[in-house]
């Protein structure tokens, strides 16, 4: 049995309307039937575009939002059915690292007060001196000095504040830590430090992570298994390497095709899948397959009427698509959308070493543009006099225009 199991979890928020008396006129289907399992010591990555329900699912696991239906089982205990008092005690085994490192820390409390508050609530440590020693050990593990205890959150950088958030979760000795976009608010160099810290802590303390993110590179680096969410439901789940090597769901294919590749030769050869239409509203999701309104391979006979189940296609690769096998085999042609080459405009003459060192096609484009600007500024080409027409005769300067006779 897995350490953490979710079975058909639903989180629906009622839509109220009325002036004197509120009445429910509909629901927002933020999470609509998600099932997954996380093994002990494993890192499960949850990805998807904004608004797909990732954060809501993470908060539902901790019962920070009410669960409409389904089961959340941690080590054999269904958290969805626990009374509030028992859940408060049980929450010590589940902790969360929030997305905003500053907004999640009380600005009126120093670091010692923030970290010892949860310990006192759960009865960890006989007195404040014992809790302080425990806090110092945790701060050393996350790379913060002991003199940080008397300081306040605003006195730290973004990366240090996120380390404090991680320390706050670790002092309660949890079994599972839910990381909600743990590095999205940080600089790239700090992101790498925090990710490496999470991996080191997992190895030394035997932690289990549920990492929620939209950065596919971060998820690939840290995760053992990846789940892809779309409009409140899980559309694909597979081991990290298998998912990136061969995505099988049409939405995952489009998602992966949008990731830029730092190698210019590979970038020129790969193709991008352009989806049609906008993301439907979670308050009025499409019937049948949630993705069929934007799917390049949709088949109206089945996709628009029946919702696909998450099925295992072998090797732990699960896909919620009626025609995943046929699409992979090339037996079904595209019915919409567009596949275009991911051509890098304006960087044909860029040195490949520039692209390799920058790590981004966009950065290479900026370097090329700046080089062209510098060359134009330092050029010693003769400048035409105000009464002479410039070469090409396309545009005149403001001064030339004012002196030239008006055309009849």
- Per residue of the chain (408 residues), what is the pLDDT tens digit? 689 999 999 999 999 988 888 888 999 999 999 999 999 999 999 999 888 999 999 999 999 999 999 999 999 999 999 998 899 888 899 999 998 888 889 999 999 999 999 999 998 988 999 999 999 999 999 989 989 999 999 999 988 999 999 999 999 999 999 999 998 878 888 888 889 999 999 999 999 999 999 888 889 889 999 999 999 999 999 999 999 999 999 999 999 988 888 888 888 888 888 888 888 999 999 999 999 999 999 987 899 999 999 999 988 999 999 999 999 998 988 888 777 876 654 444 444 443 333 343 344 444 444 544 554 444 444 444 444 444 444 344 334 434 444 443
| Separation between Cα atoms, residue 360 and residue 201, nearest integer Å | 30
Looking at residue 362, what is its pLDDT?
A: 40
pLDDT of residue 230: 96
Per-residue confidence (pLDDT) for residue 185, from 0 to 100? 79
Here the tokens at position 398 are 């403001």
Distance CA 67, CA 11 (A): 5
- Which CATH entry fits the domain spanning 4-109+169-223: 2.70.98.90, 3.40.50.300, 3.40.50.10490, 3.40.190.10? 3.40.50.300
Provide the residue ranges of all domains of the chain, joining segments of one domain with +: 4-109+169-223
Cβ neighbors of 164 (< 8 A, separation 6 or more) are: 101, 105, 111, 114, 115, 142, 144, 148, 153, 156
| Inter-CA distances, 92 with 110, 144, 176, 382, Å | 22, 23, 9, 75
**SS3 state of residue 108:** coil
Local structure of 177: helix, strand or coil: strand
Q: Of 219, 265, 262, nearest to 243 (Cα)?
A: 219
Which pLDDT does position 404 carry in this prediction? 42
Q: What is the pLDDT of residue 303?
A: 93
- CA 310, 315, 321: angle at the middle one, nearest 5? 25
Could you tell me which residues come within 8 angstroms of residue 149 by beta carbon, excluding any fewer than 6 positions away? 110, 111, 112, 132, 135, 136, 139
Which pTM does this prediction carry?
A: 0.80
What's the pLDDT score for residue 374? 53
Look at residue 105 in the predicted model and tell me its pLDDT.
Answer: 93
């Amino acid at each position: 049995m897995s350490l953490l199991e979710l079975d058909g979890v639903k989180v629906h928020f009622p839509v109220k309307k009325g002036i004197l008396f509120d009445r429910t006129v509909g629901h927002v289907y933020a999470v609509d039937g998600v099932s997954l399992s996380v093994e002990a010591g494993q890192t499960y990555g949850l990805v998807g575009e904004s608004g797909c329900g990732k954060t809501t699912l993470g908060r539902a696991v901790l019962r920070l939002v009410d669960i409409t239906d389904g089961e959340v089982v941690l080590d054999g205990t269904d958290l969805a059915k626990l009374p509030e008092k028992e859940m408060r005690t049980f929450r010590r085994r589940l902790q969360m690292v929030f997305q905003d490192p500053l907004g999640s820390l009380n600005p009126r409390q120093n670091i010692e007060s923030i970290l010892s508050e949860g310990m006192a609530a759960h009865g960890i440590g006989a007195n404040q001196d014992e809790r302080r020693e425990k806090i110092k050990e945790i701060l050393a593990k996350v790379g913060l000095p002991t003199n940080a205890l008397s300081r306040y959150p605003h006195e730290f950088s973004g990366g240090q504040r996120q380390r404090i958030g991680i320390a706050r979760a670790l002092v309660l000795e949890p079994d599972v830590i839910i990381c909600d976009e743990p590095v999205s608010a940080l600089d790239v160099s700090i992101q790498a430090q925090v990710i490496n810290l999470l991996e080191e802590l997992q190895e030394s303390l035997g932690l289990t992570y549920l990492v929620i993110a939209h950065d596919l590179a971060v998820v690939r680096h840290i995760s053992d298994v990846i789940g892809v969410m779309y409009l409140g439901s899980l559309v694909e789940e597979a081991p990290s390497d298998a998912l990136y090597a061969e995505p099988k769901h049409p939405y995952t294919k489009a998602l992966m095709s949008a990731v830029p590749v730092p190698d210019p030769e590979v970038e020129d050869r790969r193709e991008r899948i352009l989806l049609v239409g906008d993301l439907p509203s979670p308050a009025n999701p499409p019937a049948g397959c949630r993705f069929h309104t934007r799917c390049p391979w949709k088949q109206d006979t089945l996709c628009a009427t029946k919702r696909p189940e998450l099925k295992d296609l072998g090797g732990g690769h699960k896909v919620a698509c009626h025609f995943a096998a046929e699409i992979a085999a090339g037996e079904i042609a595209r019915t919409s959308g567009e596949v275009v080459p991911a051509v890098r405009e304006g960087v044909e003459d860029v040195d490949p070493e520039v692209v390799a060192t920058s790590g981004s096609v966009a950065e290479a484009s900026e370097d090329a543009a700046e080089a062209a600007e510098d060359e134009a500024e330092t050029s010693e080409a003769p400048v035409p006099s105000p009464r002479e027409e410039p070469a090409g005769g396309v545009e005149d300067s403001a001064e030339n225009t004012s002196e030239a006779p008006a055309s009849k």
